């Protein structure tokens, strides 16, 4: 049986009542986390222009855009909300599969929930956890990481997973669900070139995936037939994109009994996850109070090949980011920030902060080498880091970071996610109503009691009339 049929049947039979309690709780945390992260993304460069363009397209007002509140066709709302959700790379991640699970599912689910109407909190939890589980298992099945191939399969995962979640919310039968996955397959894409160049398209890819997911589910609902042998067909996904090199057992092992959703990491730093271990190692050393940033003569960071390629190369350019997008994917910059500020936070990613002379000077002292032992142990996933510091007095310090805050073995609680949420919403592009936000947090905490989840998006809506933005601006 093709994987599409297997998961179509699983999706059709799954209900909130069949989900373990820990899956429900992590899904609620991820929803609150992603809502906050999408609000931060509203202030990202280019979002206003994308919003103006989609508004100019017009169409049926099916779903709303967070913060701005303008309504548009569901696939366009998902495009913008998902792009905002990845704008600062602050969204949750499954490390083993390198899947941006919440950014790859919540925007689609919210858009389709508003389009359908009267979707309960239980339905949202079931659909979102289903979509995330599928995309993670897809990622765990690949024998070669996209960090080496350049094909951003994490976007593939979320296109498929988002389509599955969307089909579930639309109450499609197994055959129609297979069609939704087949239709998603015909539209997948994504590459690492834009990540290496530090362009905003790295985030827009997430929006494209969400738009495709919604469109695929809606087309399947309308009776459009997609291919059935989506994954194992003669020219199915695994043959076409992976030369049939994959671990089939990872797709269905203990399906329904064990959930990889519980192994998702909630991000503690608002930067590419490939920088997190080095950030953490540096902060640990600064916290030990043995030296300060002004004492540092040199910083050497040991990383895996994938980390080196994506966030450290070319080194000179990574040492001197000029935009927020470039800074998000620059390990030399974020490590320097960690040393100077003892943290890496949203306020360190503004254009003004990026031009901080102290940080820029220290970033020039950062070197990077590939550590073969780290590559052997962690190269398939995101890797760990070793930060080695040489002080001006000749002394040396070293710190290894293998697990960062937010990892399943070092989890962020709902209270931690709530604290992060409030930090995020302060960076909204437009003013929000604190009373509505407080109610939102409470509603997410008790999401299984909510009768219509459209109120979640409505709670994150600008409290003043929107100003018109020109498409040509």
Of 421, 405, 419, the closest CA to residue 31 belongs to 421
Claim: this prediction has a pTM higher than 0.85: yes
Instruction: Report the alpha-carbon distance of residue 257 to residue 246 in Å, rounded.
Output: 22
Chain-centre distance of CA 94, in angstroms? 9
pLDDT tens digits, one per residue of 318-327: 999 999 989 9
pLDDT at 470: 41
pLDDT at 453: 98
CA angle 297, 302, 303 (to 5 degrees): 140
pLDDT at 199: 73
Of 278, 245, 249, the closest CA to residue 382 belongs to 278
Total residues belonging to the chain? 473
Instruction: Report the alpha-carbon distance of residue 76 to residue 211 in Å, rounded.
Output: 6
3-state SS, 350-394, equals CHHHHCCHHHHHHHCCEEEEECHHHHHHHCCCCCCEEEEEEECCC
Given a contact cutoff of 8 angstroms between Cβ atoms, the answer to whether 260 and 94 are in contact is: yes
pLDDT tens digits, one per residue of 21-49: 999 999 999 999 999 999 999 999 899 99
Phi then psi for 350, rounded to 5 degrees? Answer: -75, 165
Region for 173 from its dihedrals, namely left if φ exceeds 0, alpha if ψ lies in -120 to 50, beta otherwise? beta
Residue 59, both tokens: 């169409």
Domains recognised in the chain with CATH numbers: 3-268+410-459 (1.10.4100.10), 273-401 (3.30.1330.120)
pLDDT at 472: 40
pLDDT at 200: 73
Of 350, 345, 308, the closest CA to residue 329 belongs to 308
Question: Which pLDDT tens digits describe the chain residue by residue (473 residues)?
Answer: 999 999 999 999 999 999 999 999 999 999 999 999 999 999 998 999 999 999 999 999 999 999 999 999 999 999 999 999 999 999 999 998 989 999 999 999 999 999 999 999 999 999 999 999 999 999 999 988 777 787 778 889 999 999 999 999 999 999 999 999 999 999 998 888 877 776 778 789 999 999 999 999 999 999 999 999 999 999 999 999 999 999 999 999 999 999 999 999 999 999 999 999 999 999 999 999 889 999 999 999 999 998 998 899 999 999 999 999 899 999 999 999 999 999 999 999 998 999 999 999 999 999 999 999 999 887 665 668 999 999 999 999 999 999 999 999 999 999 999 999 999 999 999 999 999 999 999 999 999 999 999 999 999 998 765 554 444 43
Given a contact cutoff of 8 angstroms between Cβ atoms, the answer to whether 220 and 118 are in contact is: no
Residues 6+ apart with CB under 8 A from 51: 65, 68, 70, 80, 469
């Amino acid at each position: 049986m093709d994987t599409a049929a297997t998961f179509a049947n699983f999706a059709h039979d799954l209900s909130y009542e069949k989900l373990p309690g820990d899956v429900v709780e992590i899904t609620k945390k991820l929803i609150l986390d992603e809502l906050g992260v999408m609000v931060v993304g509203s202030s990202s460069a280019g979002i206003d222009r994308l919003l103006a363009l989609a508004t100019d397209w017009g169409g049926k007002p099916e779903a709303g855009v967070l913060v701005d509140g303008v309504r548009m066709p569901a696939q366009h709302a998902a495009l913008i909300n998902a792009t905002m959700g990845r704008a600062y790379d602050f969204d949750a991640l499954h490390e083993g599969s390198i899947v941006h699970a919440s950014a790859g599912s919540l925007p689609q689910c919210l858009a389709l929930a508003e389009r359908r109407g009267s979707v309960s909190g239980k339905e949202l939890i079931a659909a979102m956890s289903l979509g995330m589980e599928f995309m993670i298992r897809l990622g765990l099945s690949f024998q070669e990481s996209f960090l080496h191939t350049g094909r951003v399969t994490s976007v593939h995962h979320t296109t498929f997973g988002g389509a599955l979640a969307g089909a579930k919310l639309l109450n499609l039968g197994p055959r129609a669900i297979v069609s939704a996955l087949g239709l998603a397959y015909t539209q997948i894409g994504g590459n690492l070139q834009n990540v290496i160049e530090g362009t905003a398209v790295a985030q827009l890819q997430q929006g494209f995936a969400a738009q495709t997911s919604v469109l695929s589910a809606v087309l399947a609902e309308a009776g459009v037939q997609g291919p059935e042998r989506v994954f194992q067909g003669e020219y199915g996904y695994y043959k076409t994109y992976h030369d049939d090199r994959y671990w089939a057992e990872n797709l269905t092992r203990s399906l329904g009994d064990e959930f990889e959703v519980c192994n998702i990491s909630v991000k503690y730093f608002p930067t590419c996850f490939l920088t997190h271990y080095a950030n953490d190692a540096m902060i640990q050393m600064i916290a030990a109070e043995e030296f300060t940033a002004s004492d540092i003569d040199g910083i050497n960071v040991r990383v895996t090949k994938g980390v080196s390629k994506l966030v450290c190369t070319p080194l000179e350019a990574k040492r001197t980011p000029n935009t927020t997008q470039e800074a998000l994917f620059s390990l030399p910059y974020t490590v320097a920030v960690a040393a100077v500020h003892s943290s890496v936070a949203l306020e360190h990613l503004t254009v003004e902060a990026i031009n901080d002379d102290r940080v820029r000077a220290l970033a020039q002292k950062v070197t990077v080498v590939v550590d073969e032992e780290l590559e052997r142990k962690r190269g398939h996933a995101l890797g760990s880091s070793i930060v080695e510091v040489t002080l001006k007095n000749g002394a040396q310090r070293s710190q290894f970071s293998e697990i960062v805050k937010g990892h399943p073995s070092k989890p962020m609680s709902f209270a931690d996610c709530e604290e992060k949420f409030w930090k995020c919403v302060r960076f909204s592009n437009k003013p929000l109503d604190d009373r509505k936000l407080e109610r939102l947090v409470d509603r997410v905490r008790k999401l299984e009691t909510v009768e219509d989840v459209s109120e979640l998006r409505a709670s994150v809506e600008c409290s003043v009339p929107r100003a018109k933005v020109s498409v040509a601006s």
